[in-house]
């Protein structure tokens, strides 16, 4: 596995790209109601790993899809992810005061504004998919994208995963239950980042679609295991959030359940599996492979 | 204007219809994660005036659209409305313990579950429009529906209206500012109920579309003025929420701004305007006219 710095450098191009796209989609601060739009922009712009958009663009590179056709869905995915962070950080949920190295949205503004900013960001994500003129797909495909996205962020996806997470505080989960939680909470939207991008391809055979989907499932789970490992051994400064927060809240984590060594082995195994599923994609899938490497080695 | 009882009797048919439709769309209580689905069902089923679905069906009757083609969008509209009530009732927002005569969602469950149930209901609403097989419209029309709905419930619609509402607590608003708040907060989704149903019509000329849209705008505002009047003079038992709550919270209301008499005159004027805009629709628009009468006479 390679050093992470060159990979992070490559990511910057895509991070800037989606930043510009999202900046153009979210109403300007001066747009009425101003405080709400300010909070929406605060919650989304100027930070974040942008993993979901980068996955979206990387899938596009693997399938020869012009990047401008993916700006809309990359934005929509990151808006959904950002809204979930705003709501997860609320005092009634994870009660996190720090996010992406800045005060959380409800600290910078107030709880009510944070709730509404999250709500409005979700609506905006769906609006973008309907409204974007750059996507060269049929109306039927756009509908399939919205359907997949709505499912991935709803009660049987991301929101459901956060509900399972909250219910599991103080509980002893089996490994299967822990993975079930992760697959819902983080995996569904990471998988959607790849699936939605693949839907934009002019031609895609079933085998390729399945291989990409499998890649998405593997790295989605690996991402969350790495998150748990970082929560255990990372530094607060690098994480941009409080280290050890999950353990302190008595939340079940991979290392708590199987130990750090086994958790790292599991993450590596998922990485190998993910790389294996890209074997037919050649050099075009280099960025996807780099993302997989980044996911299990990252320190933030 | 007629007595309200026969109108309310007629409403029951449509209330039952959308109840069944929503019941079939929201995952059953036994579906994992169970607590979240229980909260979603609690927040939506078994209560409520169902004004938005009834408007949707009534528009369908005025335009000869088979009702089963409208079950999906009627459900989606009511899910969006229900999620907004769950979030509005939260302690950080309006802090209402009572809703539809029952404990609010965050009282019956907890705040975190209420936030997530609202989030998941919004996602489900968009999912329904993409997934519903009964709607006899093209994929292009479905996309237009989702676009209109996302706009109506986002930062420049319903969520924006709630933000304006919260910012205006303790402020002296002009009549124009108060109406601007109402048009965002309640008007946008009421208007969407009519516009989305009209989009389902096989043929609709521009004049008809404009007339229905105008009807929607008039009754949307009239509904909110009536709400303000009821907040001033209604009984808690009938309202199913705390009477005088807005005034107690020092929120600007129509009666507080222009007095009860002028507020009622304004509601009546909007009613007349709404009825006028239906003059070319004949007997088929009877239900729409009944809804307008109900809106400005209702005592809950």
- How would you write B190-255 as a 3-class SS string? HHHHHHHHHHCCCCCCHHHHHHHHHHHHHHHHHHHHHHHHHHHHCCHHHHCCCCCHHHHCCCCCHH
Give the pLDDT confidence score for residue A4 in this predicted structure: 87
Average pLDDT, chain A: 93
- Res. A241 pLDDT band, cuts 50 70 90: low
Is the pLDDT at A229 greater than 70? The verdict is yes
Contact A146 B139 (CB under 8 A): no
pLDDT of residue B27: 98
Q: Contact B116/A150, CB-based, under 8 Å?
A: no
Banded model confidence at residue B234, pLDDT cuts 50, 70, 90: low
Interchain contact, A163 vs B127, CB within 8 Å? no
**Does the pLDDT at position B63 exceed 70?**
yes
CA distance A161 to chain B (A): 8
What residue segments make up the domains of chain A, in order of their start? 4-297
Q: What percent of chain B has pLDDT over 70?
A: 94
Tell whether A33 lies on the interface with B, counting CB pairs under 8 A. yes
Structure confidence at residue B253 (pLDDT): 87
Look at A1 and B34; give whichever has higher pLDDT.
B34
Beta bridge partners of B102: B99
pLDDT exceeds 90 at position A265: yes
Mean pLDDT computed over B274-289: 96
Cβ contacts (< 8 Å) between B92 and chain A: which residues? 90, 110-112, 115
Hey, is the C-beta of A142 within 8 angstroms of any chain B C-beta? yes
Q: Considering the entire predicted model, what is its pTM?
A: 0.95
**Which CATH superfamily, name and number, covers B4-293?**
Farnesyl Diphosphate Synthase (1.10.600.10)
Which ipTM value was assigned to this complex?
Answer: 0.94
Average pLDDT score over chain B: 93
Contacts with A151 from chain B: Cβ below 8 Å: 123, 127
Return residues 210-249 of A near B (CB < 8 Å).
none
pLDDT of B120 above 90: yes
Contacts of A184 in chain B (CB under 8 A): 33
| Whole-number pLDDT of residue A203 | 85
Chain A CB within 8 Å of residue B138 CB:
yes
When mean pLDDT is compared across B152-156, B203-207, B291-295, the lowest value belongs to B203-207
For the stretch A274-285, pLDDT in tens is 999 999 999 999
Of the candidates A40, A116, A160, the beta carbon closest to that of B33 is on A160
Question: What's the mean pLDDT in A257-271?
Answer: 94
Q: What confidence score (pLDDT) does residue B13 get? A: 97
Mutate to test the interface with A, among B89, B112, B249 (most CBs of A within 10 A): B112
DSSP B94: T
Q: What is the spatial distance between Cα A101 and Cα A84, in angstroms, rounded to a whole number?
A: 17
User: A131 contacts in B (CB within 8 Å)?
Assistant: 147
Please indicate if any CB of chain B lies within 8 Å of the CB of A95. Answer: no
CA distance A255 to A192: 27
The pair phi, psi for residue B15, each rounded to 5°, is: -60, -45
Q: Check pLDDT > 80 for residue B5.
A: yes
> Closest residue of A to B111, CA-based?
A92
A194 confidence band (pLDDT: 50, 70, 90): very high
pLDDT at B49 over 80: yes
Work out whether the CA dihedral B243, B168, B156, B114 comes out positive or negative. negative
What per-residue confidence (pLDDT) applies to A132?
96
| Site from A27, A72, A104, A119 to mutate, B interface, most B CB atoms within 10 angstroms | A119
The dotted CATH code for A4-297 is 1.10.600.10
List CB contacts (< 8 A) between B33 and chain A: 155, 160, 163-164, 167, 184
Contacts of residue B48, Cβ cutoff 8 Å, sequence gap at least 6: B78, B81, B82, B100
Whether the predicted pLDDT of A183 surpasses 90 = yes
| Averaged pLDDT, A16-23 | 98
B119 at A interface, C-beta within 8 A: yes
Residue B47 confidence (pLDDT) above 90: no
The reported pLDDT for the residue numbered B177 is 92
Q: Give B205→chain A minimum CA distance, Å.
A: 23
Per-residue pLDDT, averaged over A27-36, amounts to 96
Task: Inform me whether the C-beta atom of residue A119 falls under 8 Å from chain B C-beta atoms.
Answer: yes
Residues 6+ positions from A279 with CB-CB distance below 8 Å:
none
Give residue A170's pLDDT.
Answer: 82
Q: Which two tokens stand for residue A203?
A: 């031609």
Q: What is the mean pLDDT of residues B175-204?
A: 94
Instruction: Locate the chain B residue with the closest alpha carbon to A143.
Output: B130
pLDDT category of residue A237 using cuts at 50, 70 and 90: low
More confident residue, B146 or B6: B146
Measured in angstroms, the CA of A110 and the nearest CA of chain B are apart by 8
Q: How far is Cα of residue B71 from the mean position of the Cα atoms in its chain? A: 15
Confidence band, pLDDT 50/70/90 cuts, at residue A247: low
Helix pair angle (A188-199, A206-233), 10° resolution:
150
Average pLDDT over residues B45-67: 96
Residue of B nearest to A36 (CA): B163
Q: What is the chain A residue with the closest CA to B37?
A: A155
Of A31, A144, A163, which is closest to B113 when you measure between CB atoms?
Answer: A163
């Amino acid at each position: 596995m390679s050093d992470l710095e060159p990979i992070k450098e490559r990511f910057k191009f895509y991070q800037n790209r989606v930043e510009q796209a999202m900046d153009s989609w979210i109403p300007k601060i001066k747009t009425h109601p101003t405080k709400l739009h300010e909070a929406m922009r605060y919650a989304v712009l100027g930070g974040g790993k942008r993993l979901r958009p980068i996955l979206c663009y990387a899938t596009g590179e693997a399938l020869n899809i012009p990047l401008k056709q993916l700006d809309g869905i990359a934005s929509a995915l990151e808006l959904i992810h950002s809204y979930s962070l705003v709501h997860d950080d609320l005092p009634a949920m994870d009660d996190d005061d720090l996010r992406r190295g800045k005060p959380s949205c409800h600290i910078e503004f107030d709880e009510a504004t944070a709730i509404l900013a999250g709500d409005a960001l979700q609506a905006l994500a769906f609006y973008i998919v309907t409204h974007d003129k750059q996507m060269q797909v049929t109306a039927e495909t756009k509908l399939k994208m919205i359907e997949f996205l709505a499912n991935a962020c709803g009660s049987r996806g991301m929101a459901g995963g956060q509900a399972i997470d909250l219910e599991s505080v103080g509980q002893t989960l089996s490994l299967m239950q822990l993975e079930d939680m992760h697959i819902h909470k983080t995996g569904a939207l990471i998988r959607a980042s790849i699936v939605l991008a693949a839907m934009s391809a002019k031609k895609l055979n079933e085998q390729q679609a399945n291989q990409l989907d499998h890649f998405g499932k593997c790295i989605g789970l690996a991402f969350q295991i790495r998150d748990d490992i970082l929560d255990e051994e990372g530094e607060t400064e690098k994480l941009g959030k409080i280290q050890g927060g999950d353990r302190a809240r008595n939340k079940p984590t991979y290392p708590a359940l199987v130990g750090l060594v086994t958790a790292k082995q599991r993450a590596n195994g998922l990485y190998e599996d993910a790389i294996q599923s890209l074997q037919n994609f050649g050099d075009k899938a280099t960025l996807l492979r780099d993302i997989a490497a980044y996911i299990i080695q990252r320190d933030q």
